[in-house]
Structure 1
Amino acid sequence: MKKNTFNILLAVALVGLSAASCKKYLTVDSPSTLTQESVFSSVSNMNSAVIGIYAMLIGDNGYGSRIATLFPQSADDMKTSGDYSALDRRGISCYGASPDNTDLPNPFAQLFKGIERANVCIKYIPKSDLYTNGTDAQKATLQKLYGEALTLRAQFFYEAIRNWGDMPAQFEPAADMTNVYLPRVSSDTLYDKLLDDLKLAGDLVPWRTQSPDQNIRITKGAVKGLRARIALARGGYSLRQDTHQNERRADYKKYYQIAYDECKEIIAHPEQHSLNPVYENIFKTLHSATRLDDAHELMFEVGAFGGNASTDSKLGYYNGLRHSTSSKFGGGGGGINPLPTYYYEFDSIGDIRRDVTINIFEIDTAGKKLMNVATTMTDGKFRRSWTNITGTSQNLAINWPILRFADVLLMYAEADNEINNGPSADAISAYEKVRKRAFIGYETRMGTTPTDKDGFFKAIVQERLLEFGGEGIRKYDLIRWNMLGSKIDETRQKLRDFMNGAGRYANLPLYVYTKPATYNLVASVDEIKTLDFPGGIPVSQALFTPGTGSSTAPTGYTTKNWRASVNEDYLTGDLKGYAVKFEANKKELFPIPTSAINLNYNMAQNWGY
């Protein structure tokens, strides 16, 4: 969302924020100071009310921090820094969060605040006299607003379901409910409702080029892409409360067909959305009002602004490239660490995504770049130094990407492969479009695309790992594929091999030697070329050959542990161990926060907690 316009819209939305119900469910909004009739009697007020729904996406308890950066950890790509505690973010990352974890209740409540605000708009916008008797322009605007409200409610519900499982079916304003203490309902039932809602929303919301606010509001492509994503979740595996197993239903292909159809229609409109030719520019666009995404690959992003915990984000401050507090940029970054083995999943030479996705350096007190140890690398798509905000601010106005066109291409390829028992030529083409962008200039290193069902699915699994690192997608992919437990086990063995210098990691160095180098703020693939290693050797030699094996650095250089940074404590330790508390068929979901259970006696706790 382009920040300058979004700021104005959200300021106007102060009127709409009061449109919530006068009854409480969980922690929904305070009693309204305006009547529904006055709010829903003008297009302007109804627009403000919908902007009030958008407001529940952002902030510390939305996609400005916790939902975006904490909830997706850990998978086979990244983990949260620090030592395990059941009561904070490290408990989430280690799969050991308790119902009293302090990072769970406020995001849970905010999602339901968003649902409540959406419910009010969904009820009253179609009932407005202007919806049926207004001018053509007014009716078109109100249909768009109605579709946006349906889509936002679906996003909030989807986020709640994928983290906590079955949820109460709260599809009407709390003021209309005879009983606000709703029991949990099967996620299948909820997803089916959301898919129906999004089908309707897809007819109501215009395509990007037909929308007056295309960069700041939901358009048809985003609706269809979200419907595809939810369809794959509905057709995939999820933890069932009745059997305590991660299972999928027998009719799952029906939902793959929905995903296929929606993605196919988006792909058929390249004038609306296509791949940004420069991968790094997708993420730089999130950092500035100046957009570097003429292809409109960013289909749905959450706007951040205002320098506060409610309307801004801590992206780039909590996560992202680590900056010393004494640097000219200000401090920040370091809260999310890629696993050392994730770095080696990328092609060593050809895949430009590696150096965008993973920072192998940090910014020191002098504003120079300095090599990390292997276990303290950081996620690279969010960087304080890509913004123009310096000083001590923790809020950097960096947007969060919810949906990109690359995801549409890969969802299409995955659905096609499953439906047809093997990939069609179109599915292979969609997959290879994503891959070719990653290997631009090095296409000969792409390898051959498998044409059998199992081989192509494995290629999709790997490609999604490489394409979406740090974007909060991987863990949920693995859950819907029923692969989270096996990938955690596989990754722990890879980390052990990395530690021991075994197998594919046999030629990697125990130590690397480095000293500060000028931070040029150039393209990531060029930035790492000027890291300072002894003899001027490139990264491709420093991190891919055994080196001297000595912990003593050459004169003028500092030793950085590489393989030596991984030890048994990192693998299995009670405090630092990777995903050490994970239990299959139990920890795929978070515990319901104690506060939510206390507010609703019908909100049963998830099994295993």
Structure 2
Amino acid sequence: MITPSCKKFLDFESPSTSSEAVVFESTATTNTALVGVYNRLVGDNGYGSRLSTLFGITADDFKTSGSYSPSDRRGISMYGASSDNTDIIQPFAQLYSGIERANLCIKFIPQSKLYTSGSATEQALMKRYHGEALALRAQFYYELIRNWGDVPQRFVPAADAENLFPANADRDLTYDQIIADLAIASDLVPWRSEIAEYGSFRFTKGAIKGLRARIALARGGYSLRTKTNTMERSADYLKYYQIAKDECKAIMDNGSHRLNPVYENIFKSLHGTRADNENELMLEVAAFGANANTDSKLGYYNGIRFNAASTYGTGGGGMNAIATYFYEFDPSKDCRRDVTLGIFEITATSKKIINTLNNFTDAKFRKSWTNFDGRSSSQQFAVNWPILRYADILLMYAEADNEIGNGPSATAAEGLQLVQKRAYVGFEGSIPVTPTNKIDFFNAIVKERLLEFGGEAIRKFDLIRWNLINSKFIETRTKLQQLIDGTGPYVNVPNYVYAKEANYNLTPSVTEVATLDLFGGAPNNVLFAPGLNSTTAPAGYTVKNWRRALTTENQITSISTGFAFYFEANKKELLPYPKTALNENTNMVQNFGY
């Protein structure tokens, strides 16, 4: 049985002796087959690790920790991955494995007698399963396209394929197919309110419509084109913005999903304790089983850093914040900063202490929010990955409406403001002034999505579809240099701060950060004022490098750690195809620049 509190449905092995005729003539075994498709979302090579924490960075929010190597995760983060990069090979294969499993369901479910002539209940259930399979295939293809571009496509099972080794396919045609598939799927699958037992672990109508909106914006956005080796978008792009707008509006009007009033609770809900009665989490990848195939390494690889000697055991630290990201947030009103950024780490004595400015982590995933204790040697904590949130629906609607209408409507402005007011809880009257013209409103959306979705593997792909990735990288390097020099908006940022350990109380993040023990007072004062500017700490405190932790070399010019050092516009917006895939399928062509 599948319930919102149960993740065991991903612990699946296919009954290899069962034929399609047997599997798809029972709703129970059809469900089992479909669960096998969901299984391809999770694990180390899915959103349990690599797809979630490696492929979506670097942007102007986070990067991978450590020093560059072309053949591992740091090569991806620095836009210098080689075709034999070990972290891209298996995710590529797993996504195609998911497509093959989905293709089997998509072929055989409609052929089932239950689908065509079963009881009304059986037919409705089989149609729901059919819609879920279509949505899953769309998600797999979307992930492939946004990372590799013109990937080979196949919309039938391998046994029915005319060519087992297809060449690269025009991504626009693949996008158009899955956009059409999702329109069908939306009619087959009920709203979340009608199938509450699904929770957010399986596709419901809202999640399907949201995915269709997201893919439509990608189809209507910019991408690196194979024929021209330049970033382009199609002339009819507004057609796809209209699809996105319509789908988002349908979700907004239905009411099955709303904003969670507490931003932090969205992410705590991913850790096991449900605190999302508003169903902001529209689709999440369920993790279970403490293994590499069905669980996740969220909170172990990434998230707040825990010292191995602490009572929590080792965890976190695989992702670092871009140093300027901290200063993008309103310092005293925006609660998202302290949820998103790991400003502190947990020491060997199980207490908290502020990090240096170049050592912040992401923080929406925390081992301390799970039930695992430090005595466990497990690297998997059953933490789920968020695929789609209602906040994204509001902001996608606002973006599409603004683009289509040459300026925002009142509904678009309200959507932006709803997201901002949740972030500025207690200070709702102080949200930024909403622009009324197209360009300024678009820029407000660009900024808001940076603040709202930090560390959720969204920003990089936003920048690409807007054709802003190169200009934002240039802008970020300029900001980093200003921060290093203490000029411009960073003129009052201190060189040093002075800290001591404080109790880690597991209070809400804003309170947790506010109670860090810093000489001079609260962080929102100390981190925005020059302070003592001395390498000698006051009695009882330890010096922590702040601006002094940053240098032009370690932040910008280093071939090992420089920000997005190997990025080249019109070349590195896509990853290289794995060499193993090219060796197996000689009809495929490597992406430009690799």
Q: Into which bin does the TM-score normalised by the smaller protein fall?
A: over 0.9
CA distance in 2, matches of 1:376, 1:111: 33
Which residue is 2:325 aligned to?
A: 342
Superposed counterparts of 1:217-366, under 5 Å: 217-270=202-255, 272-288=256-272, 290-366=273-349
> Structure 2 regions of 5+ residues with no counterpart?
none
Match for residue 463 of structure 1 among 434, 443, 448: 448
Say yes or no: does 1:410 pair with 2:411.
no
For residue 348 of structure 2, give the secondary structure of its aligned residue in structure 1: coil
Say yes or no: does 1:548 pair with 2:532.
yes
User: In the alignment, residue 117 of structure 1 is paired with which amino acid?
Assistant: R
Match for residue 178 of structure 1 among 142, 162, 173: 162
User: In the alignment, residue 593 of structure 2 is paired with which amino acid?
Assistant: G
Superposed counterparts of 1:68-467, under 5 Å: 68-211=52-195, 213-215=197-199, 216-270=201-255, 272-288=256-272, 290-390=273-373, 391-467=376-452
Match for residue 498 of structure 1 among 478, 483, 507: 483
Give the TM-score of the pair, scaled to structure 1.
0.96
Tell me how far 1:445 sits from its aligned partner: 2.5
CA distance in 2, matches of 1:37, 1:102: 38
User: In the alignment, residue 492 of structure 1 is paired with which amino acid?
Assistant: R
Tell me how far 1:554 sits from its aligned partner: 1.1
Which residue is 1:21 aligned to?
A: none
After superposition, what is the alpha-carbon deviation per residue over 1:474-526, rounded to whole angstroms, capped at 9, x for unaligned? Answer: 00000000000110110011000000001000000011110110000000000
CA distance in 2, matches of 1:368, 1:308: 29
For residue 297 of structure 2, give the secondary structure of its aligned residue in structure 1: coil
Does the Cα contact within 8 Å between 2:231 and 2:570 map onto a contact in 1? yes
User: In the alignment, residue 417 of structure 1 is paired with which amino acid?
Assistant: N
Match for residue 523 of structure 1 among 500, 503, 508: 508
CA distance in 2, matches of 1:261, 1:319: 36
CA distance in 1, matches of 2:60, 2:325: 7
After superposition, what is the alpha-carbon deviation per residue over 1:249-286, rounded to whole angstroms, capped at 9, x for unaligned? Answer: 1000000000000000000012x000000000000000
CA distance in 2, matches of 1:39, 1:308: 27
Tell me how far 1:392 sits from its aligned partner: 2.0
Tell me how far 1:550 sits from its aligned partner: 1.1
Tell me how far 1:209 sits from its aligned partner: 1.2
CA distance in 2, matches of 1:577, 1:6: 40
Tell me how far 1:34 sits from its aligned partner: 2.1
For residue 303 of structure 2, give the secondary structure of its aligned residue in structure 1: coil
Say yes or no: does 1:67 pair with 2:68.
no
For residue 344 of structure 1, give the secondary structure of its aligned residue in structure 2: helix
What's the RMSD between the two structures over aligned residues? Answer: 1.0
Moved over 3 A (4+): 1-4
CA distance in 1, matches of 2:367, 2:586: 44
Does the Cα contact within 8 Å between 1:3 and 1:303 map onto a contact in 2? no
Which residue is 2:6 aligned to?
A: 5
For residue 185 of structure 1, give the secondary structure of its aligned residue in structure 2: coil
Does the Cα contact within 8 Å between 2:4 and 2:198 map onto a contact in 1? no
CA distance in 2, matches of 1:373, 1:571: 17
After superposition, what is the alpha-carbon deviation per residue over 1:208-267, rounded to whole angstroms, capped at 9, x for unaligned? Answer: 111152313210000000000000000000000000001001000000000000000000
User: In the alignment, residue 265 of structure 1 is paired with which amino acid?
Assistant: A
User: In the alignment, residue 254 of structure 1 is paired with which amino acid?
Assistant: K
Tell me how far 1:599 sits from its aligned partner: 1.2
CA distance in 1, matches of 2:523, 2:129: 51
User: In the alignment, residue 295 of structure 1 is paired with which amino acid?
Assistant: E
Identity level (%)? 58
Tell me how far 1:139 sits from its aligned partner: 0.4
For residue 103 of structure 1, give the secondary structure of its aligned residue in structure 2: helix
Say yes or no: does 1:42 pair with 2:43.
no
CA distance in 1, matches of 2:433, 2:276: 29
After superposition, what is the alpha-carbon deviation per residue over 1:149-204, rounded to whole angstroms, capped at 9, x for unaligned? Answer: 00000000000000000111211000111310101111100000000000000000
Say yes or no: does 1:477 pair with 2:462.
yes
**In the comparison of the two structures, how many residue pairs are matched?**
589
When residues 563 and 221 of structure 1 are mapped into structure 2, their CA distance, relative to the original with a 3 A threshold, is same
Give the TM-score of the pair, scaled to structure 2.
0.98
CA distance in 2, matches of 1:3, 1:259: 28
